Structure 1
Amino acid sequence: PAPGLAYAVLRIPRLGVTAPVAEGTGKAAVLDKGYVGHYRHTAQPGEAGNAALAGHRNTHGEPFRHLDLLRPGDTVVVDTAAARYTYVVRRILPRTAPGDGTVLAAVPHSAVHPAYRFTAPAAYLTLTTCTPAYTSTYRLVVWGVLRSTQSR
């Protein structure tokens, strides 16, 4: 997808969230427009690897305002022109350092909190936002695993 352009819709039923997904995570071009941003150089939704998305928790539409309310077993859906991808939340890392970049790895894990890790290749979805609310001190990370794909 072209940088800054919406190409998918993220749905989080438990939270009542429906938000457009755009390529990139730049504030001015993507996040500050209320979009959820796709981290470049991570897998696209439905692909093997880790499709990683970022969103504001406060301000600019705050699509991830209540991300901390997700629980293992909840579903997260990504709709694209090609298919609907349904992920099941498997792990939640309530707080890590902003520089904990391994949470975006193809097989995601936390370099800061080693107990939070996956060990096998799969189709993962990672959602990241700032925490606690109204700060950017840490990052909250939610990981899901692809459960189903529905072609359009």
Structure 2
Amino acid sequence: MRDRGRGGRERVPVVVQARSGRSGLARVLWVGAETVVTCGVLILLLVVHQLWWTNQQARAEAGEQVAALEREWEISPPGGGGLPSRDGSPSVPPSSSSSGASPSVSASASAVPPPSDGGASAPRPSSAPGRTSSGEAFAVLRIPRIGLTVPVARGISKSKVLDKGYVGHYPGTASPGRAGNVALAGHRNTHGEPFRYVNRLRKGDEITLRTREGTYTYVVDQILPVTSPRDTGVIQPVPRSIVKPSYGYSEAGSYLTLTTCTPEFTSRYRLIVWATLRR
């Protein structure tokens, strides 16, 4: 029965439908959008931290270490009585294990960074002076072609060496200026990325290694653009790729090996640069 109001007019009931369904959906969409934006911001901050901030920190620390080393060498030069280095300054007398080629490198020392175990279990270099320990800088590497000046430290530990923006010296390989193979590793990207542009090196480019004992100049001779991370042959005393045997050497000598990841922002393969000591 229809209700009659004042004046005898009929009242038509009005039904108001609830909007709870639409409101709930809107809230869900809003929360989802906020979550996506928050995740995006966090990812962006992570990328900025990895690609920019770690580089700033590592480069600053590496630069301070280079200055400290060279200041120390100026104040406390090496003592006399040793063999002359390539630039004529005195050097420490060689030990019996450093008079010839360096010992073979154990396969447990991975061919290139980043090492899975930090490199702590790899054998110590018997041909190297004993006054530096793992993670301690002992040399300065300079590559004019790419404008690089960076400290070199014992070992290839990520936390103690590579992530600090340093270049790492593979355990068991020769010391600068000695017979054998001075094998070095460095990050291609992030944490100072000292070896980012080593792909720009060309045959004939100079690379210098300065230590307390002297400055040694190497000349780029060969470049292996791509090889396996397990290609340990590239850091042997007489370096030769076991993956691509056409790259490398067959005679004993004084070599320098630079190793890094390739392509950029990956660790799938390794890039190798070889240089020989200038006589």
TM-score, normalization by structure 2: 0.53
Partner of 2:245: 114
Counterpart check, 1:79 vs 2:210: yes
Determine the C-alpha separation between the residues in 2 that align with 1:56 and 1:41: 20
Gaps of 5+ in 2: 1-131
Aligned-partner SS, 1:121: coil
Which of 126, 146, 151 is equivalent to 1:15? Answer: 146
Aligned-partner SS, 2:278: strand
Determine the C-alpha separation between the residues in 2 that align with 1:42 and 1:27: 18
Higher Cα Rg: structure 1 or 2? Answer: 2
CA RMSD after TM alignment: 0.6
Partner of 1:134: 265
Determine the C-alpha separation between the residues in 2 that align with 1:76 and 1:136: 24
**Alpha-carbon distance, 1:58 to partner:** 0.2
Counterpart check, 1:3 vs 2:134: yes
Partner of 1:36: 167
Determine the C-alpha separation between the residues in 1 that align with 2:189 and 2:248: 27
Deviations 1:70-89 (A, max 9, x none): 01100100000110000000
Higher fraction of helix: 2
**Alpha-carbon distance, 1:28 to partner:** 0.5
Gaps of 5+ in 1: none
How many residues are matched? Answer: 148
Determine the C-alpha separation between the residues in 2 that align with 1:48 and 1:103: 16
Give runs of ≥4 in structure 1 deviating > 2 Å: none
Determine the C-alpha separation between the residues in 1 that align with 2:151 and 2:245: 32
**Alpha-carbon distance, 1:117 to partner:** 1.7
Deviations 1:68-121 (A, max 9, x none): 000110010000011000000000000000000000010000000011020110
Determine the C-alpha separation between the residues in 2 that align with 1:111 and 1:147: 26
TM-score, normalization by structure 1: 0.96
Aligned-partner residue type, residue 263 of structure 2: P
Partner of 2:179: 48
